[in-house]
């Protein structure tokens, strides 16, 4: 079946603009994660959804970052008033089950959105 | 505190050489999961393997093998008879279970270049 898809693949924004990044998880996947990957670094956790509930947003770097998953499938990561330090690849991942307790299922990643803020 | 260290930033080998990528982790959890992902130039993270902390059995999948040693908190990855297509950045990652939602903690990655 189809994997995780993300759009757009590339986004150039002027400093101060708002951007919206979309993630389509694997069909039926309950858990959805967003990560930020700076150049030359490993991905870093931003936020986690279980169905439509945002259970963990501890990784969001500022209140300019906002994520939603209103119907428990597609998710959008919005960045308001973008700054140059927001330039990074934003990765979305999904997994098949609830991420609770001792069972941590494998996360499958999308191709990412490369954001460049000028 | 939880942490994953991949001390090798870049490795360059010639095709058909064997290469080992090191991964050392830190966690206070007694139950946790370890992963390896491959990131080719296209950017997508490709899942390679998942191990839980109770299963120290080493695993082999074709040219790939993994050596998990709890005593040294290491989860090393070996590619046998490397090929040019193996060129990528490889990430080791940790997922804790106690109080965590399962988010992955990644190392900084090791860039592997395999030359013909």
* CB-CB contact of B86 with B80 (8 Å): no
Test A112 with B44 for CB contact under 8 angstroms. yes
Q: B65 φ, ψ to 5°? A: -145, 155
Residues in B touching A107 (Cβ below 8 Å)? 47, 102, 104
The contacts of residue B86 (CB under 8 Å, 6+ apart) are B79, B112, B114
Residues in B touching A99 (Cβ below 8 Å)? 101-102
Test A89 with B43 for CB contact under 8 angstroms. yes
- Decide if pLDDT at A82 tops 90: yes
Helix (H, G, I), strand (E, B) or coil at A61: coil
Q: State the DSSP code for A71.
A: T
pLDDT mean over A73-101? 90
> 3-state DSSP helix/strand/coil percent for chain A, to nearest 5?
5, 45, 50
Q: Name which residue leads in pLDDT, B52 or B7.
A: B7
Report residue A103's pLDDT band, with 50, 70 and 90 as the boundaries. Answer: low
Q: What is the mean pLDDT of chain B?
A: 92
Q: What is the pLDDT of residue A104?
A: 66
The DSSP H or E segment spanning B20 is strand B19-21
Report residue A99's pLDDT band, with 50, 70 and 90 as the boundaries. Answer: low
Report residue B79's pLDDT band, with 50, 70 and 90 as the boundaries. Answer: very high
Kindly list the residues of chain A whose beta carbon comes within 8 Å of any beta carbon in chain B: 31, 33, 35, 40-45, 48, 50, 55-56, 59, 89, 91, 93, 95, 99-102, 104-112, 114
E strand intervals along A2-87: 5-7, 10-13, 19-24, 31-37, 44-50, 53-56, 65-68, 75-79
Instruction: Identify the bridge partners of residue B68 per DSSP, sorted by sequence position.
Output: B75
Residues of chain A above pLDDT 70, percent: 92
Token code pair at residue A91:
């990765």
- Decide if pLDDT at B23 tops 90: yes
Q: How many CA atoms lie within 13 A of A86 on its CB side?
A: 29
Test B103 with A102 for CB contact under 8 angstroms. no
Test B104 with A35 for CB contact under 8 angstroms. yes
pLDDT mean over A9-13? 97
- Closest Cα in chain B, distance from residue A19 (Å): 20
Test A109 with B107 for CB contact under 8 angstroms. no
Test A109 with B37 for CB contact under 8 angstroms. yes
Q: How far apart are CA B17 and CA B43, in angstroms?
A: 25
Q: What is the mean pLDDT of chain A?
A: 92
Token code pair at residue A6:
């993300």
């Amino acid at each position: 079946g189809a994997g995780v898809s993300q759009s757009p693949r590339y986004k150039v924004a002027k400093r101060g603009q708002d951007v919206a990044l979309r993630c389509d998880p694997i069909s039926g996947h309950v858990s959805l994660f967003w990560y930020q990957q700076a150049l030359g670094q490993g991905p870093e956790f931003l936020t986690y959804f279980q169905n439509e509930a945002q259970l963990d947003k501890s990784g969001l770097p500022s209140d300019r970052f906002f994520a939603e998953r209103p119907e428990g499938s597609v998710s959008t990561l919005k960045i308001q008033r973008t700054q140059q330090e927001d330039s990074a690849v934003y990765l979305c991942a999904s997994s098949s089950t609830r991420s609770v307790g001792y069972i941590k299922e494998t996360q499958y990643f999308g191709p990412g959105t490369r954001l460049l803020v000028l | 505190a939880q942490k994953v260290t991949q001390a090798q930033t870049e490795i360059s080998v010639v095709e058909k050489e064997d290469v080992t990528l090191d991964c050392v982790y830190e966690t206070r959890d007694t139950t946790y999961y370890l992963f390896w992902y491959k990131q080719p130039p296209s950017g997508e993270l490709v899942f390679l393997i998942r191990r839980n902390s109770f299963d120290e059995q080493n695993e082999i999948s074709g040219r790939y093998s993994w050596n998990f040693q709890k005593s040294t908190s290491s989860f090393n990855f070996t590619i046998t008879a490397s090929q040019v297509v193996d060129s990528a950045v490889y990430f080791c990652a940790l997922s804790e279970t106690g109080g965590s939602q399962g988010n992955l903690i990644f190392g900084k990655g090791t860039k592997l270049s395999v030359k013909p």
